[in-house]
A and B are shown apart, each in its own frame.
Chain A
């Protein structure tokens, strides 16, 4: 079955450490997205990529970095510059085409600070 796989499901970060969240999709979608969700709140866009080797900052990109070397993969690195990284991170992809086309989401990664 096609879908989006995020790993790990839970991740712990020590102070001063960079950590990388994995996102892989086999839906053949060009566009991929990273959203952050804080408890009891909606999702906020961190970074997105509409094509391989290209990506743009979202609303809360500071302290994060991404790469898009392959169509299937869009890893997110939470750097030590991100002072409040504890959150639930969701990766998504989008097929483009029809305007009513929905976002497909992975099952998320919960990042916590030790």
Chain B
């Protein structure tokens, strides 16, 4: 069965520093997609970044980058130059069933990030 594991319930980072949020996954599929979402205290889920299993380069979106290590089945999110507004819960998710191309995602438990001024 497919599974996402986020082992860091909570993290602290100093403003302007970089932080890495860990995500490991388990799947027997050769083709899959990995997503990171941010959930601020308001509750909505905000899409940050996507990595396909066959993408040759690690994904980047502004201050967000994904450290994708396929052999280790890890997809860690790196946030550079942290800002106070980055304080939120972060979820790693995997698309279930690559061939079906649906919005059915499997989510990890989440990591709460707090940015200190």
Contact = CB atoms under 8 A, between A and B. Distances in A.
- A interface, over-half SS: strand
B104 interface: yes
Interface string B1-12: 000100001000
B104 A42 contact: no
A65 interface: no
B82 to A, nearest CB: 22
A88 B102 CA distance: 22
Contact of B33 (A40, A100, A105, A108): A100
B50 A103 contact: no
B110 A105 contact: no
Interface string A53-68: 0000010000000000
B47 A40 contact: no
A92 B45 CA distance: 9
A75 interface: no
Interface residues on B, range: 20 to 34
A33 B103 contact: yes
A47 B46 CA distance: 21
A48 interface: yes
B65 to A, nearest CB: 16
Contact of B50 (A45, A100, A104): A100
Interface of B: 4, 9, 33, 35, 37, 42-47, 50, 52, 91, 93, 95, 98, 101-105, 107-110
26 contacts: A33-B104, A35-B107, A41-B109, A42-B4, A42-B93, A42-B108, A45-B105, A48-B103, A48-B104, A50-B102, A58-B104, A92-B45, A92-B103, A93-B103, A94-B103, A96-B102, A100-B50, A100-B52, A101-B101, A102-B50, A103-B35, A103-B105, A106-B44, A107-B43, A107-B44, A108-B43
Given A31-B103, A42-B108, A103-B47, 13 more contacts: A31-B102, A41-B109, A42-B4, A42-B110, A44-B107, A45-B104, A88-B43, A96-B101, A97-B101, A99-B98, A101-B101, A102-B47, A107-B44
